[in-house]
Every structure is written in C-alpha cells, then in structure tokens.
Chain A
Amino acid sequence: MAPALVWLTALMVVPCALVLALAFFRRGIYGGIDYTFTLENFGLVFDPLYAGIFLKSARIAGTATLIAVVIGYAAAYAISAAPRRWQPVFLFFAVLPFWSNYLIRTYAWIVLLNREGLITQLLRWLGYTGEPPSMLYTEGAVIAGLVYNYLPFVILACYAPLSRLNPELAEASRDLGASAATTFRRVILPLTVPGIAAGAVFVFVLSIGNFVTPALLGGGRFQMIGNLVYDQFLTANDWPFGAALAMALIAIMLLVLMVQALAADRASGRAAQTKGDADG
C-alpha cells in the first residue's frame, strides 16, 4: 500500500497539482509565467472557439467509440464462439498490432489513405479511372486511426465476459422458444454489458485526449483538444492557458469514468440490497 501511495503521489498527484496551480496564473508578456492570480484562463476555455473544439473532440471520440465497440464486440463474439484451443491464437492476432509502435501504426494509415496510396492503387487496379478520393487529412481518417488503435482494448474487454458466459444459457433460451436473435438481445447482450462499458470508456477517454492521430491523419489544420493543449505549451508558449485546457480535459475524463463507476456500483449495489431485503 505505502509504495503504491508514494508512487501515486510522486507521479500523479504532484504533477497534476502543479499543472492545476499553473492554470491560475497569467501568461508573461514574452511567454513565461506572470505569477499573479487570475481566473481568465478558465473563462477562455468556455470561449465558443475553444468550446467548439471540445465538442468536436467529444463527437469524434464518441463516433470512434461507437464504431470500435461494434467491431470489437463482433470480433470478441466470433473469437469466443471459436473452438477453445484456437481462441488464444485468435486473441493473440487481434492484439498483435498493439505491440508495434503507435506512430508506426498511424504512419501505416498514411500509406493506405494517401492520394496515391494503397487504396487508390487498388481502386485503379480494379478499373477506377476518376480523381483519386481524398481520404487522408479528413475527420474520417482521424476516426479510422483512433478505432484501429484502440480496437484491441475493446476486443479484450468484451471477450472476457463473453468467454465466461455459460453456453448453456444461450441453449436454455433457445430451448424455451427464443430465436437466435432474441437470445442475443435478451440474454447474451445484457450479460456482457459490463465488458462493453469498460471497452467504450477506454476508447472514449483515450480518444478525446489524443493528439498524435489528429496531427498525423487530420493534417496540420485539424485540431482536437489534445492538439490545442500541445500547441499552447510548445508553440504559443501560453502555459497557464494550456494548463487550464488540460484541466478541463481531465475533468471530462473523470466525469466519464465516474459515471461508469457509478453505474457499475449501482448494478452490484442493487443486487446486494435486494439480497438484504430478502434475507431480512
């Protein structure tokens, strides 16, 4: 316990406190920091220009989450339905890209989506002669990059409850007269929601703060909050405003995590409560 506490304090609490403190100061005229107290930085976060970037980031992260959950759940379902001895192999291949460098994986998408990239070449080979489609440096490219990079998390998070599911539950549902689709909707899906929620929160939190993928696949003009924070610290040299933006981002992430924790807690708490009632 104690080593973990020291580690947490030194690497999490102190840096966050420093950044938080920074947000309450003024920017110096020549960059740097003017140590006079102000709330201006937080006011600026709600400026329509920056609030718009927050909203756009949330929308992109939300879209990426939705797509990743649909694909990831389907993949996890397929893996859990495969013969037992093959499942670790399929899981290994599903997670394999994750062991290569994030930047390399993102650059690979540039090679794919480029105007004269692999997809365009494939279209040409299939007989397409028109303008090459512009796919790189779009919102779609950013979403594709995010989905691709965080898919393994979703697959692992959804595989866990799916593989633990007693296969006789689905059989019992069929035996009682349910079609395969009804069995999925009323038995399999509700019992695997915790995995979906865990995977979704993971993708959303990692996506909304991401700055590498929008920078590489979205092009220079494309901004998400992560890029904004990055720019304030390293380009505009406005550390106090960067700190305020970072704090707002952390607040959003904490909110999402808290909602998930609360929902999970309520689900288990309700069961415990009815148990108490029944025993009493």
Chain B
Amino acid sequence: MSEPRTLLAIDHVSKNFGRVTAVDGISLDIRENEFFALLGPSGCGKTTLLRMLAGFEMPSDGRILLDGKDIARTPPNKRPVNLMFQSYALFPHMSVRANVSYGLEMERLPAKEIRSRVDAILATTELVPFADRKPEQLSGGQKQRVALARALVKRPRLLLLDEPLGALDKKLRGAMQLELKRLQHEVGITFVIVTHDQEESLVMADRMAVLKDGRLLQCDTPHAIYEHPADRFVADFIGVMNFIPGKASADGVVAANGARIAGKVPAALTPGASAVASVRPERIRLFPSAETANRTTGTVEALAYHGLDLQLHVRTPLSPKPFLVRVTADAADRRPVASGDQVELGWDAADVRIFAE
C-alpha cells in the first residue's frame, strides 16, 4: 500500500499567551481522508491547536501547511477549513435551513445550487423534518447534527470538531461515535477531532495524537498507542494500566518487595534507575501455568460484574495500589472467585511495558 498523501502539516507550531506556553513546538502530519484525534487532559493545548487550525489564533511560531501552502496567517473566513464548535454555536434567530445555508450564501453561490446542496446534506444528516425549526426547538442530538451539516455543506478540505459529543448523554454518545465515523466515510472529508475522552478516540480515530502540557507525547494508530505507549503518562491516560514501581535491571524491574518482573527494558534505562513495569488488566490471567514468566499471589478485595467481563481488585505485594484484573465471563464461570479469596496472577514478559519513573 502506498503512503497516503499528507493533507495538513503542522510544523513546529508554538503558541504563547503572555508568559504561558499553550502549545510547545508541535509537529504533526494529518493525512488525506483520515479521522484524526487530538487527545489530552484539559489544558494540554489541544483546543488551542484546533483554534490555530481554524484561524482563530495565530501561532507564535511555526507553520501550518494545507496542501503545502502556509495558512497560519489566513483569516478563518478565507480558509477551506470548518470548525464544529463545542457549543454548536447555531444561530438562534435562524431556522435549521437558514443555519445550514449561511455558509454557502457567504460563497455567493447561485440560490438554486445552495438549495440543492442544503437539501442533500439535510437528507444525509436526517434533518429534513426539522428544516423549519429554530435551534431552541431541537434536542441535543439534533443540534449536533445541524452543526455538523452546517460545516459539511461547505465541503471543507478539513473539518475540525471540538469535543463534538461532549454535550450528549452517554448512550447517545455511543451511537453518535459510529454515526460520525459513517458520515466521515460517506463524505470523504478529513476529520480532526479534539477530545479528552480516550475511549472516544480509540473507537473513532484512524490515528491519534496524545498531548500534555502543550507537547506531543505520541502520534500513532489507537492500537499502537494502546499496546506500546511512549511513556508512563500515555500508558496511564489511555485505557487502564497496572503499575509496579521499582528499579530497572538488565532483564526487567525489581519491585520494592524484591520480586523480579521480567520484561523488555528500554535502551535508555540504565540498570538501577527508578522504573515502573506495567501490564494491562486484560493481559493478566488468574491461576496461570507454571511456566508463566511473571507470577504473584494476592487477595481479592472487590469484584465488579460488567456483563461482558468481571473486574477484580487484587491486593498484591508488588504495588501499593491493588491490581485491576479483567476476567472474561467464560473464565469466571469455569472457576468462580469471591471477595476475600487468595488468587494467583500471572502474565507474560511480552505483555510487560517498562518506563522510566
């Protein structure tokens, strides 16, 4: 497969507000037709970065290349980029149709073309029955679709979405995640979504970037980031991780109680340095076979039944925090465990990730 074309290149972009650095030298390539997620805790600079892509903020330093052309200083109304606002920002005095037509009227297109393009996008977003309503007469999910239609009808090169599902309740959010992905596929527009919800970006994104304190920590596919986090922060932020603090050795980490955790040690880590070994809850097995590289015993402190799986909190001598272990429904049925039970845990060296502390 040939390498997909780069649509947007963010080149060493920084943004300072007075003495505060919101975005600190970020470089990223966003490819044609991909669903890209900017993920990070609040205050990580993801919204500032998005606003620079939309044109509402100018970078203090660096370039933003769209199709190879620097647009860093182009005003928002002159760039083929549209933003779907977190608050949706629908015009309250205009009907759904007028809201969606607005952007095309600004392009001074013929009335007939505006009408047919608006009709088409209203059909795609299932808004036809609501075309004459005012925003205040719509539900949250409908407003979200109007905001999306209003941006998509412009056929931008790049659609930016600022926490698009933040205002929806949990159930609707799940449905809209799939809906957004379907729409993105259908219209063939590159989406860049900003979110603080790691699950959301794992589900939706083709590739994602994890940001913290204005810096880029890692940029890759959700699978690669989940399985091979770049550092301890990413490991903790994406999904759930069990951490075992200790000191690095040649072939793993020596925990505080002297137990040896086998795993691949990064080259940068010198033996004796503070380090953490980590393992995902779903990689831990109950009652492992004798040849499993890493084994420990613990006491079940709590059980949480989730239908699909059973989550155990197991107190072990390896770390001050209890381990979280996910047992599939199958395994739980074969050998039931109860709160207070002594259990054996085990996991392979290949499932261990080791980071500098």
Contacts and interface: CB of A to CB of B under 8 A. Distances in A.
B137 A274 contact: yes
- The main secondary structure of chain A at its interface with chain B is helix
Interface string A264-277: 00000001001100
Given A182-B106, A274-B137, 14 more contacts: A166-B89, A172-B89, A172-B90, A174-B55, A174-B77, A175-B76, A175-B151, A176-B154, A177-B77, A190-B93, A191-B92, A274-B132, A274-B133, A275-B134
Interface string B72-113: 000111000011011101111100000000110011000000
Contacts of B91: 169, 172-173, 187
A171 B56 contact: yes
7 contacts: A174-B55, A174-B56, A176-B102, A182-B106, A191-B92, A271-B134, A274-B133
Size bin of chain A's contact surface = 20 to 34
Best-surrounded residue of A177, A271, A275 (most CB of chain B within 10 A): A177
B231 interface: no
Given A166-B87, A187-B91, A175 B132 contact: no
A278 interface: yes
Contacts, number: 68
B54 interface: yes
Best-surrounded residue of A166, A174, A176, A278 (most CB of chain B within 10 A): A176
A213 to B, nearest CB: 37
A168 B89 contact: yes
Contacts of A178: 77, 102, 106
Given A168-B87, A182-B106, A191-B93, A174 B137 contact: no
- The main secondary structure of chain B at its interface with chain A is loop
A77 B134 CA distance: 26
A278 B83 CA distance: 29
B150 interface: yes
Interface of B: 54-56, 75-77, 82-83, 85-87, 89-93, 102-103, 106-107, 130, 132-134, 136-137, 150-151, 154
Nearest to A179: B77
Interface of A: 166, 168-169, 171-179, 182, 186-187, 190-191, 271, 274-275, 278
B136 A174 contact: no
B99 to A, nearest CB: 9
A278 B138 CA distance: 10
Contact of A271 (B55, B76, B136): B136
Contacts of A174: 55-56, 75-77
Contacts of B133: 274, 278
A175 B93 contact: no
A171 B77 CA distance: 9
Contacts of B92: 169, 191
Nearest to B100: A176
A274 B87 CA distance: 24
